[in-house]
Structure 1
C-alpha cells in the first residue's frame, strides 16, 4: 500500500470535455516510435542477424582440495549410494555462451571479449539454425569488444550501426540475444541513462537500460526503434544473478571504432600521453576560480614520454584535448586513446592561472597498461 504522505498528487480539473475543447486549442499528438502493433515487424527484420555464440576452453584439473581423496566417510558414502568423488586427474572442460550480431555479409560478427576470452574453440549458431566454426579476428579487453569471423556459403543477413551519441534518456530500445541459452530472445525498455561509469575499465561510457538483460545476453545488440545497433549488451547490476532492470551496453560509436581497428589487423592501436592524472579537488578549484569537477590535474609526467617532450608539467590542469572538453579523468583517457600513435594533437592546460596550448605527438599505448 502506498504511503499517502509520499503518493503523487492528483489534480482534478473542473472542466467538461466540451468546455475544455472550447477553451484550449488541442495540440496534435506526436507519432509514437513504436507501432501500435508492437515490435513484431521490426524484430522480424533484424533478428536474422543475431547469433548464438558457444565457446569451450582449456580443461581445468580438479584440485586436491576439491577431490578430498582421503575422506573415508565420503568414499564409503559414495560407494554405497553410487558415484565417486572427483579425483585430481579428472578435468573439467570450460564452457560458456553468449550472443553476437553480424555486421558484414562475409561473416564478421561482433560479441564481447569476455564471452570468447581464453576460448579454444568458438562456434556460432545463426538464426537459421546452421552452426559454424568461428575464428577470433581480434579482441579488446579494455572495451570488452571482440570480432569473430565465420565462413558461410552465402551472404549473411546484417544489421547496421546507429549513432549512440544521438540517444536520449527515455528513448525506446530493444535487447536481443540468448539469455540462458534461449536464442532469439527479445526484450524491450528505455534508455535509463547515458555515459555511465561503472568502474569496470578506463573507457567506461555505458548506456544504461531497463530492457531485461541476463546471463547469455552478453555480446548481443541493443537496437533503437529504427532497428539500428546503438550498443552492445555487456553487463548487468544483479545482486541475485538475474535481471533487475539495470543493464549496461557499450555505445555503438565506440564499438564501430574498435571493430574497424580489429578488422584491419586484429589489434587495437591507441595513443599514449605518458601522465598520471587525478581529479581537480574542490579546494584547488576554488583557488583557481573554477568549478569543482572541471578539468583534471597532471600528477606526474613519465620521463621521455610524449607529455614530457611537449612540455607538460605536474600541476597542469588539462582543460581540453584535441577539441574535447576534459571534465573528468575518463574524458582525457578516452580522448587520448582514440587518437592514432604518431598523430599530433593540441592540449590546452591551465598553468599558474594562465591558459596554455601545447602540441603533443602521441606515442603507442601498446604495452603501457602493464
Structure 2
C-alpha cells in the first residue's frame, strides 16, 4: 500500500493486514481481532474518500517489537524517543515562513514571516515538506546552519541555530 498524509510525500507500507471496518480518524492504535477474539494486529491506516473503507493494521508481533523498543528507550530510523527538534515556525509553501513563535530558535535568529528558508547545513530546501524532513534528522540541542532569503530585501543570510525540544507530533 502507498500512503500519504496532508500532502506529505508518499510512503510504501508493506506487510500489512487488510480488513474491512468503519475505521475513522483516531482509531489508529486500536486492536484488530480474529474470529476467536484474539488480538492479531493494531490499526494503522485506512482509505478515505470512498464509500467502502479499507483499513490496514500491522501484525501484533511487529507492534510488540516496536512497543518493547520504545519501553527500552532505543531510537531508530522509525522510532524517536522524546520530543522532536523544533525551530519554531509555521510554514507556507516552498519553505516560506508563515509565522514565527516567540522564544524559539527561529525568533532568536531573526527569521520573520515572509522570509524563505533555502538551506539547512548546506542542504537545499525545496519545499515545506523537504524542510520538515531535513529537521527530522536532528535532535533538540543540535546546532544547524540555517540559510534564508530575507523577504523584505531579497538578501541571503545564514546563522547558526540551536534547535530546542518541540511539541509531540
Coordinate RMSD, CA, aligned: 3.9
Equivalent residue in structure 2 for 1:274, among 71, 88, 100: 88
**Structure-2 residue corresponding to 1:365:** 166
SS in structure 2 of the partner of residue 215 of structure 1: strand
How big is the shift at 1:357?
A: 1.6
Distance across 1 between alignment mates of 2:87 and 2:164? 6
How big is the shift at 1:211?
A: 8.1
1:235 aligns with 2:34: no
TM-score by length of 2: 0.58
Indicate the structure (1 or 2) with the bigger Cα radius of gyration: 1
Taking the TM superposition and a 5 Å limit, the aligned residue runs for 1:281-320 are 295-320=94-119
How big is the shift at 1:329?
A: 1.9
Structure number with the bigger relative contact order (C-alpha 8 A, sep ≥ 6) is 2
Is contact 1:213-1:236 (8 Å) kept? no
**Structure-2 residue corresponding to 1:353:** 154
**Structure-1 residue corresponding to 2:11:** 207
Unmatched 5+ residue regions in structure 2?
21-27, 30-42, 59-65, 76-80
CA-to-partner distance for each residue in 1:247-269, whole Å, 9 max, x for gaps? 8x9xxxxxxxx99x834279423
1:197 aligns with 2:4: yes
Residues 337 and 365 (structure 1), Cα distance of their counterparts in 2 relative to 1, 3 Å cut: farther
How big is the shift at 1:331?
A: 2.1
Is contact 1:277-1:297 (8 Å) kept? yes
Residues 209 and 268 (structure 1), Cα distance of their counterparts in 2 relative to 1, 3 Å cut: closer
> How many residue pairs end up in the alignment?
131
How big is the shift at 1:339?
A: 1.1
TM-score by length of 1: 0.29
How big is the shift at 1:327?
A: 2.1
Is contact 2:85-2:165 (8 Å) kept? yes
SS in structure 2 of the partner of residue 333 of structure 1: helix
